[in-house]
Amino acid sequence: MDARYQIRPAEAADVGRVIEIEGEVFSTPWPAASFYSFIGPCFLVLEVDRLLVGYGVGRVAVEEGEVLNLALKGSHQRRGLGSRLLLTLVHRLADNGAEEVFLEVRESNRAAIGLYCKLGFVEVGRRRSYYADPVEDALVLRLKIAV
């Protein structure tokens, strides 16, 4: 675990760095406008030694939370930071009314699926051909939040 990390709400000034990480991690990255539209309590960034290395975006509708996007720079993966970021985002979603949290993940992304399952997410569905470049199914996972 990196000793000097901080998770905080994202600001508009963070979006440029978020876009860089997004382009490194995903084959079909979100445009900057999407990130700007989510600036608020459920868009978090993770810094290590004051360098932005990850982010998580979520939203709440009624009692359902959704993790829309979560990524860490490759050099900071597999250090426990993803777990910390995701748990912080889940807590933020719960603080904003979520009683359960959903997310989609590429079926082939075994590392992410392992992380999500370790944190209590369970598979509840599948979206056929959900992802492009390459076309792939998404697994739908859910976490019930203890209230």
Catalytic residue positions, numbered: 104, 116
Six-digit token pair at 20? 């860089």
Specify the DSSP element, H or E, that contains 27: none
**Strand pairing partners for 61?**
64
CA dist 25 and 139 (Å) reads 18
Range 32-41 burial, b when 16+ CB lie within 10 A, else e = eeebeebeee
